[in-house]
Structure 1
Amino acid sequence: MTEIQLRTFYGYLISAEARAPLTAKTYLNTLRVFQEQLGAERLIENAGEQDCVQFMLMRSEQGITGRTLAKDQAALRSFYRFLQLENLRSDNPAEQLEMPRLEKNLPRVLALDEVNTLLSAIPLDTPNGIRDRALFELIYSAGLRVSEAVSLSLEDVFFNEQLLKVHGKGGKERIIPFGSQAGEYLMQYLKTARPALLKSQHREHTETTGAVFLNNRGARLTRKGIWKRLQDIEQLSGVTTKIHTLRHSYATHLLAGGADLRSVQCLLGHSSITTTQVYTHIEDKDLEAYHRRFFEQDGAAKNSP
């Protein structure tokens, strides 16, 4: 499969199947891996059902997780569906593949004191530090995905109302609030640190995107850049976490504070409430722990002389 064909398929995913750009790129990577497995003498356009099965088995043996396997399978189905629409193939050899079993691991959640320890460890003596404090305060305070933090522009921030316009998965937009502490650090960053970072901007960059968070070169901060900064902050704070863990913690703390599930669904931008329901299981675990702690103490008090 040539790169031109891949680009054509990419366009089909974006326009016809309404896939997000990141999802479409993931599908292309799957096809490249599949082509590597088949070898140079065979093309994936001509692969059969058994080839698809062998590819999925190979991915499974490599330790690929259920969710990634599901994306691999979706990529194959979409590709052969595309070939059918182009009259390049009459069948879809991936249509009958069995769905992989998805893990039901509960997401890790930070306690409130862990969140405070993590954020407080960020030094504020440099423009980068001020930016990082504002960035991670906002990610936690608004439950942002890393892609949503990256794409945030100045016009998306409404300080008077303490609201953000967030560009989520599939190009969907939502309006969500952010906390007063996050607002204070964000204002400090925009007034002091961002102008300093903007001065280091290379000549080839122009201030046209209006990105909120900038890197050392004055360009929009990337996902990779955010992940790298969090790794540094982990070492400073001693708190092990991931960016998405801050989002999980945000949702769990909202529910613990009395928010209803439907409201949390809207704030997170989940298409289905079943995705949000995982956080109720986390709350159930916390409640069980509180229950045991209370009754063990109560029993100990009753048995004491």
Structure 2
Amino acid sequence: MVSASANHDDGSGQQCIADKRFTRRLPQSDDVCQIRQFIDAIWLEEGLSKNTQSAYQRDLSIFACWLNDHGKLIAETDALVVRQYLMWRVEQHFTPTSTSRFLSSARRFFRYLLRESLISEDPMLLIALPKRGRPLPKTLSEADVEQILNSPDVTSVLGLRDRAMLETLYASGLRVSELISLQLGQVNLELGVIRVVGKGEKERLVPLGEEAVRWIKEFLLSGRAELLVDRADETLFPSLRGTMMTRQTFWHRIKRYAVSSGIEKPISPHVLRHAFATHLINHGADLRVVQMMLGHSDLSSTQIYTHVAQQRLQSLHQQHHPRG
């Protein structure tokens, strides 16, 4: 299956250079300039995260490459052109989720162009967003989580670091980007809390719990200095090079621990975040409290976990009730 993430990004916004689906492969320079100006504008206005900026840039650059292949510019786009592009995405097997994200990106982009008088009409006004059910998040049982947490070899420095990271992730429900970028100054082990800088540079305080505090202390005492190798770096969980770990590296490590635990479910750092929220609600946590700890700006983003808990209760009922 083809996805947008398969495209190359050289940092200039020209993500399609290595994509064989395009003849010319590069968007027109005018289009590149407009996309860059849009990204700069929304960053200045809303302080969006780098990941969100990259997603907007990737979606719009693929669209610009397709336009160039068809001899068109972004400024010449109308509703018919957008519909043709959406048909092409279907033919290329882009996922419905990625196409929905493109439509969201395009709506904001063309509103910006109209506001700046770079186009005279917004082509997205005649394009309807697809209606689709919101999928339930993938999650793990408490026993699954326990197996993953116990997988790292804590007699090694990397294993000790990974155990501390996994315990922190499950105890706090951090996003992976928040976890890998944690600095020493954000952690108060005496109070058992961490100060998290989340999306939109919003701060929140999240409790850690005794187990996470214990493993962080163990790592600080017995492993962190060995990884730093005399580097002056404030990253709480440094990589083998003594610098901040990448999201991809941590994803690969957590996937390896899942395999070694015999867990066949798809696994990622985000699945542990889902497990954190689901298990809290299963044990009676208030939805507003879970929302605050996850850093959700909208309660509707958190409410989906109540559906996961309800689904679990229905499953237990069917399994154990005589008339289930």
For 1:35, the aligned partner's letter is A
Unaligned runs of 5+ in 2: 1-27
Q: Supply the distance in 2 between the matched residues of 1:18 and 1:91 (Cα, whole angstroms).
A: 27
Matched, 1:189 2:219: yes
Cα deviation digits, residues 131-163 of structure 1 (max 9, x gap):
111111111110111111122111110111110
Query: Equivalent residues in 2 for 1:51-200 (5 A)?
Result: 51-199=81-229
Aligned residues of 2:35 and 2:61 also touching (Cα < 8 A): no
The alignment yields a C-alpha RMSD, in angstroms, of: 2.0
Q: Supply the distance in 1 between the matched residues of 2:235 and 2:200 (Cα, whole angstroms).
A: 20
**Aligned residue number for residue 292 of structure 1:** 318
Q: Supply the distance in 2 between the matched residues of 1:100 and 1:200 (Cα, whole angstroms).
A: 53
Q: What TM-score do you get using the length of structure 2 for normalisation?
A: 0.84
C-alpha displacement of 1:48: 1.7
C-alpha displacement of 1:103: 3.6
Query: How many residue pairs were aligned?
Result: 292
**Aligned residue number for residue 217 of structure 1:** 241
**Aligned residue number for residue 274 of structure 1:** 300
For 1:33, the aligned partner's letter is I
Cα deviation digits, residues 191-216 of structure 1 (max 9, x gap):
22111110075xxxx53xx1111111
Distance 1:19-1:51 versus aligned 2 partners, 3 A rule: farther
Matched, 1:6 2:30: no
C-alpha displacement of 1:66: 3.6
SS of alignment partner, residue 110 of structure 1: coil
Distance 1:90-1:169 versus aligned 2 partners, 3 A rule: same
Cα deviation digits, residues 165-196 of structure 1 (max 9, x gap):
11112221111101211111111112221111
**Aligned residue number for residue 303 of structure 1:** none
C-alpha displacement of 1:17: 4.5
SS of alignment partner, residue 160 of structure 1: coil
Query: Equivalent residues in 2 for 1:242-281 (5 A)?
Result: 242-281=268-307
For 2:301, the aligned partner's letter is T
C-alpha displacement of 1:26: 0.9
Q: Supply the distance in 2 between the matched residues of 1:200 and 1:129 (Cα, whole angstroms).
A: 20
Aligned residues of 1:67 and 1:103 also touching (Cα < 8 A): no
C-alpha displacement of 1:111: 1.0
Query: Any runs of at least 4 consecutive aligned residues in structure 1 with deviations exceeding 6 A, and if so which?
Result: none
C-alpha displacement of 1:54: 1.8
Aligned residues of 1:200 and 1:216 also touching (Cα < 8 A): no
Aligned residues of 1:145 and 1:244 also touching (Cα < 8 A): yes
For 2:157, the aligned partner's letter is P
Q: Supply the distance in 2 between the matched residues of 1:194 and 1:103 (Cα, whole angstroms).
A: 44
Q: Supply the distance in 1 between the matched residues of 2:131 and 2:163 (Cα, whole angstroms).
A: 39
Q: What TM-score do you get using the length of structure 1 for normalisation?
A: 0.89
Distance 1:17-1:283 versus aligned 2 partners, 3 A rule: same
**Aligned residue number for residue 8 of structure 2:** none
For 2:136, the aligned partner's letter is L
Q: Supply the distance in 2 between the matched residues of 1:110 and 1:45 (Cα, whole angstroms).
A: 47
Cα deviation digits, residues 237-287 of structure 1 (max 9, x gap):
112322111111111111111111111111111111111111111111221
**Aligned residue number for residue 27 of structure 1:** 56
Identity %: 33
Which has the higher mean CA deviation after the structures are superposed, 74-83 or 157-166? Answer: 74-83
Distance 1:106-1:43 versus aligned 2 partners, 3 A rule: same
Q: Supply the distance in 2 between the matched residues of 1:109 and 1:238 (Cα, whole angstroms).
A: 16
C-alpha displacement of 1:113: 1.0
Aligned residues of 2:170 and 2:276 also touching (Cα < 8 A): yes
C-alpha displacement of 1:57: 2.6
Q: Supply the distance in 2 between the matched residues of 1:237 and 1:267 (Cα, whole angstroms).
A: 28
Q: Supply the distance in 1 between the matched residues of 2:126 and 2:180 (Cα, whole angstroms).
A: 38
Q: Supply the distance in 2 between the matched residues of 1:200 and 1:110 (Cα, whole angstroms).
A: 38
Q: Supply the distance in 1 between the matched residues of 2:54 and 2:138 (Cα, whole angstroms).
A: 27
Q: Supply the distance in 2 between the matched residues of 1:261 and 1:250 (Cα, whole angstroms).
A: 13
SS of alignment partner, residue 57 of structure 2: helix
Unaligned runs of 5+ in 1: 300-305
